[in-house]
Amino acid sequence: MISNPRDTSALDAGDKFDDEHYPAYTMGRAAEMLGTTAKLIEPQRSTGGHRRYSRYQLRLAARVRELVDQGTGLDAACRIVTLEDQLHEAQRLNTELRPHD
């Protein structure tokens, strides 16, 4: 299951539009965008209790869908996407922490 790794509750309105982790999409919209149900990703809940998904979650779910459509098993596809995401984050941190000359 893919969850959203960040707390976005303290963002102001302007920041929410730019933050890929902000849970802006309803379950119906997420399923429409992915062309499938959104059961793979774990939603955040709005203050009213509605399920919401972020662009980040939808991007990961779309990648899983792509791998499954190519014949990869669902569990393997989820693991591949998780590892790809971890690698991307490690590379981002490495670049960020590298001394600038």
For residue 87, what is the domain's CATH number?
A: 1.10.1660.10
| Any domain includes 5 | no
Is position 20 within any domain? yes
3-40 confidence digits (pLDDT tens): 555 555 555 555 666 777 787 777 777 777 776 655 66
Residue 25 lies in a domain: yes
Which range marks the domain in which residue 18 is found?
13-97
- What is the per-residue burial (b if ≥16 Cβ within 10 Å, else e) of 49-81? eebbbbebbbebbebbbebbeeebeeeebbeeb
Q: pTM of the entire structure?
A: 0.63
In a domain, 91, yes or no: yes
Q: How many domains does the chain fold into?
A: 1
Is 33 part of any domain? yes
